[in-house]
Chain A
């Protein structure tokens, strides 16, 4: 039994789809950030798999994955700081309570 690139791409697509659903469906800001992390990991898995199959010596996909990890680590740090700041203002992390810009 051989595992081709499409198995990895399919797995990454399933993970990304689940993360997409979670980011839209969940009402807690922390849960939305967790779903975003799930999507970032799915993208990384794609890049590492294609790097192994297409450019095993240049490892371009692995470098792209490293830089994606840097950006998503920065994003998660800033996102959680923002959640804490919002919690100080409204005493809640529900997304439905952040509606001060509503007309």
Chain B
């Protein structure tokens, strides 16, 4: 007996995330781009729910949709002097387009050839209690290193952004 992902929900969330990413890249207003990014993050959180990764879905909403988007908006507002500065000219890069097209083609070929080796979704559902237990036993050392990384990043960010005297 295998589990399966709800196809309708997947298609809605896939369209929401790709549409948000396209909106982020095509909008001329940098504030709108930040809100499109927020929409992508929420849609990806929904995809995590479909994959029964409930803890990661909540963390995704908290960290990306909450903290990162607000941080982006703060920096945009701190670095704009006038409201009109947020509207930018259309930026098209041919080199970037070629690079992305080549990368996308390679990915398409790789997924078309090897993507279905993994097969069906197993019936065993990962659960959050087991995730917490593993995080503090088997992954305890990486967890501590991660907290150290965050501490150093925090101090570094304060150091860099302080007012020069």
The chain A residues found within 8 Å of chain B, CB to CB, are 1-11, 13-28, 30-31, 33-35, 37-38, 41, 44-45, 48-54, 56-59, 62-63, 65-67, 69-71, 73-78, 80-85, 87-88, 93
Contact = CB atoms under 8 A, between A and B. Distances in A.
Contacts, number: 229
Pairs A-B, 3 closest by C-beta atoms: A6-B115, A24-B96, A74-B153
A16 to B, nearest CB: 8
Q: Is the interface of A mostly helix, strand, loop or mixed?
A: helix
A34 B72 contact: yes
A77 to B, nearest CB: 5
Contacts of A54: 118
A70 B149 contact: yes
Contacts of A33: 72
Contacts of A77: 71, 153-154, 157
A39 B142 CA distance: 23
B5 interface: yes
Contact of B68 (A24, A76, A81): A76
Contacts of A85: 160-161
Q: Is the interface of B mostly helix, strand, loop or mixed?
A: helix
A66 B135 CA distance: 10
Contact of A2 (B4, B34, B64, B108): B4
Nearest to B47: A45
A50 B122 CA distance: 11
Nearest to A71: B149
Contacts of A49: 51
Contact of A48 (B10, B53, B93): B53
